[in-house]
Structure formats: structure tokens, C-alpha cells
Amino acid sequence: MEYKLFESAVHSKSFMNEWQIILNDVFSYETFMDYSIVPSILGKKTLSYAPLLNFTNRLSDNIDDLLELGKDNNYQIRALNPKYNTFIENDTVTMRLDISNASSQEIFDKKLHQNCRRKVRQSIKRNDFKILSGRDEKLIDDFYKIFSKVMHGHGTPVNKKEFFKELIKRINSQVFIYKLESRVVAASIILFDDDIAELYWNVIDNDFSKTQIGYFSFWNSIKYVVDEKNCKIFDFGRSSFGGATYKFKKQWGAVPIKIDILKPNQDDVYTKYELASTIWKRLPRKVVEFIGPKLCKYLEDL
């Protein structure tokens, strides 16, 4: 059975190759055939197919070779499953918006929910957000400051700054920094791969949430992709079905596509680290900013 491009589009082989080079350069991962070998602090090793990616270049009905390679080992594979349509709470999904053959105004008028359009208009009327964009390493410095703060608030270790600097060198991408006066209040990174524009990271300083900067930055990303890039899919990234980020992305007209996360022993990634996340939030910023980048190498579930 063939699926619509919108549902089944995955990463290209060239994108996957560049991703592997970045992982090898930054984390010094060893490889086993198509897998990266992700070590753990306790010495256990996991065969991970493209660590850190939300989805890969595989659909769930095209992974038999990976399963055969991974058998008798700890392994993790993420693959899109466009057949899946019986979503339940906490299913891992990526949220997608069809932007093919449409102008940004048409997207605004026909895709965005009414309340979303209202908040975007409010954010635009402020007219005092300064936008910096490009692929300059200095933008990563600004991005990383707010990214570190937001991830600490979520109870999640922050990745190495070096990872992001290598990323924008090797992969077609665009960094956006949003400032209010001199303060960075939001930042995002979009990755481009053939027909897909993936808003992989979008972080908002909650101290400024009342300014509607979240709506301003999301709309700016969509508008940029539609007006400046030849893409057909705007991918909002991974969410837990029914969760807060899922509901936020849904109001932009995005629909869920299931991400299968295959392991020998299945678990719920959103509850697995609940206690650790709570503890992490309470640690001082200086501590987590020192430990976090060193720790991420060992976390295959990020």
C-alpha cells in the first residue's frame, strides 16, 4: 500500500549520513553496521539507530534488517508508522502541517484555529520583537543560553553546544533568535531535508510568555518556510499524544503521525524518567550546565 507523502515522508539517506558524522565527531560513538553504539554510565551498551533524531529514514514496515541486526542486544529504533490511526494517550507522535501549494496567508486563514490566529495577530501588533536569523555560530551562543535555561525548567539535560555548532555546519538549517530589547526571549532551529522542514527546537523564556512570543516565533517559522523554502511539510517535532505540546501544535492545523520506538523491552519514555526529571529541575543551574552536556552522550532516549 502506498501512503501520501505527507504521512510517510522520512529523512533522506544523505541527511542520515551527515547526522552520523555529527554524532561521531561530537560524541565519538562507535558504530555497528547501521547502528550507533550508545554507552551508559553503568557500562551497558545500546544499539541506537540514529540517536537524537525524532524519526529516521525508515517506516515501521521497513525495519526487518535492523531488527535482525539488533537481536540479542539492547537496541532502539525510531520509525514512522503512517498506518497507525488509533491514537491513545502518551503515544509518541510527530505533528505535521501540509504546506504544499499554499501561501502563508492561505495557511493562516485555512489551517490555523481561530484562537491561534487571534494570538498571532496580538503578537504581531506588539511590533517590538527583534529577529536575528542565519547560520552564524554567534547565533548558537544566543540559542544555547535560552535553550539551557528552558531545558533545566523541563528537567532535561542540555546537549553540548558543540553539537549545535556542528549541526548548522553540516545540515541545511536556519537559526532564529528573538529579542525583546536586549533580552533573548525565544529561539529556534529549523532543519531542512528535501520536502520536510522540521522545527526541531523551539524554546520560549516563560518569563515572557504573556507577550505571546511563542505564537510570534512559531508563526515566523511557518511563514519563513512557506515564503522562502520549497517544502511541502512543516514538521513541528515530537510530542506525547494528548499532552500540552501536542495541544499547542494541533491549533496550528498540525496532525499526528505515529513514531514507533522499538526496543526489546518496551517502556513509556514520558514516565520512565519522571523522578530523575523532578530531581534535575531542583539542581542549581551551574551544576546542570556542567553535568548535562557530559551526560547526554549516555542517554539514548533523548
| Residues 6 or more apart in contact with residue 211 via CB below 8 angstroms | 123, 126, 129, 180, 185
Task: Read off the pLDDT of residues 168-219 as tens digits, 9 standing for 90 and up.
Answer: 999 999 999 999 988 999 999 999 999 999 999 999 998 998 899 999 999 9
Q: Give the chain's radius of gyration (CA, Å).
A: 19
| Mean pLDDT score across all residues of the chain | 89
| Cβ neighbours, 10 Å, residue 77 | 22
Task: Read off the pLDDT of residues 219-276 as tens digits, 9 standing for 90 and up.
Answer: 999 999 999 998 999 999 999 999 999 999 999 999 999 999 999 876 555 555 565 6
CATH topology for the 92-257 domain: Aminopeptidase (3.40.630)
* Strand (E) or helix (H) holding 26: helix 13-27
Q: Where are the domains of the chain?
A: 5-86+261-279, 92-257
What the block records as the C-alpha cell of 242 is: 494528548
Question: 3-state DSSP call for residue 196?
Answer: strand
pLDDT class of 126 with cuts at 50, 70, 90? confident
Average pLDDT (38-47) is: 86
